[in-house]
Amino acid sequence: MWRASILTIFPEMFPGPLGASLAGKALAAGSWGLEPVDIRAYATDKHRSVDDTPAGGGPGMVMRADVLARAIDAVTAPGDPRPRLLMSPRGVALTQARVKRLAQGPGAIVLCGRFEGVDERVIEGRQFEEISIGDYVLSGGEIAAFALLDACVRLLPGVMGREASGTEESFAEGLLEYPHYTRPQLFEGRAIPEVLVSGDHAKVAAWRRAEAETLTQKRRPDLWARRANPVESKS
């Protein structure tokens, strides 16, 4: 079973949105497992402190290596094969290709950073890879963890209604997804493109491909450039 352990100072936030919709149904059915871990439970002082002032001075606080190490070691048995991921704005960008690889594995151990960040020694010593969901800063890693887990869980076998749902969507082939339409045929003077109601499946496929390419060139020139010069991503 695909299993996620989430290290956080706010375990009550989970499962949150992961307890609803497709992810929630799959969680209730036992298709995947979620283990929120309270980092504060591994603090040793009466205030359950998990942070301290940054070495060298500066604003904010830093999550302590010793407390985090105890929490991590408590939830990872020797030989645990799951990748260790730290949600961080300075991390490698999360891509659909990486999500697919994660979904095909045994799960993940996810550390949700807070404050100014995490002591570098625990990142190195416990071999965490930093992952970012975008070039912006959140209050903590929990929201990013929701995004990561949702993206993975929806790709697990049996979670989505149709297998094609996972292959005919944005980024599946390095392209943004083509436009979608449904009834009514005419809405506020706008009609569904004729090709989509023609019944000609080859023409429909060609139209969708062309639309996906056009949208990608216009909205994500970075993705389009990568298709023109393909280099296997390690992210």
pLDDT tens track for 172-195: 788 999 999 999 999 999 999 999
- The reply to whether 201 and 95 lie within a common domain is no
3-state secondary structure of 88: strand
Among 153, 185, 208, give the residue marking a domain's end.
153
- The reply to whether 93 and 184 lie within a common domain is no
Phi, psi torsion values for 215, nearest 5 degrees: -65, -40
CATH number of the domain to which 206 belongs: 1.10.1270.20
Whether 159 maps to a domain, the answer reads: no
pLDDT at 161 over 90: no
pLDDT at 204 over 60: yes
Domain that holds residue 55: 2-153
Using the CB atoms, write b or e for 98-127: b if 16+ within 10 Å: bbbebbeeebbbbbbbbbebbbeebbeebe
Q: Calculate the dihedral angle through the C-alpha atoms of 34, 40, 41, 45, rounding to the nearest 10 degrees.
A: 170
Residues 36-55: pLDDT tens digits? 999 999 999 999 999 999 99
pLDDT at 78 over 60: yes
- The reply to whether 50 and 119 lie within a common domain is yes
Q: How confident is the model at residue 164 (pLDDT cuts 50, 70, 90)?
A: very low
Whether 196 maps to a domain, the answer reads: yes
Can you say whether residue 125 is alpha, beta or left, with left for phi > 0 and alpha for psi between -120 and 50 degrees? alpha
Interstrand relation of 84-93 and 107-112 (parallel, antiparallel or unpaired): parallel
Mean of the pLDDT values across residues 142-165?
A: 89
- The reply to whether 16 and 120 lie within a common domain is yes
Total domains present in the chain: 2
Which CA distances in Å does 108 have to 35, 83, 153? 11, 5, 11
CATH number of the domain to which 43 belongs: 3.40.1280.10
- The reply to whether 138 and 220 lie within a common domain is no
Mean of the pLDDT values across residues 113-129?
A: 97
Interstrand relation of 186-187 and 190-191 (parallel, antiparallel or unpaired): antiparallel
> Is-contact 35 3, C-beta < 8 A?
yes
Report pLDDT for 171. Answer: 82
Q: What is the pTM of this model?
A: 0.89
Report pLDDT for 96. Answer: 95
Rounded to whole angstroms, how far apart are CA atoms 63 and 123? 11
pLDDT at 213 over 70: yes
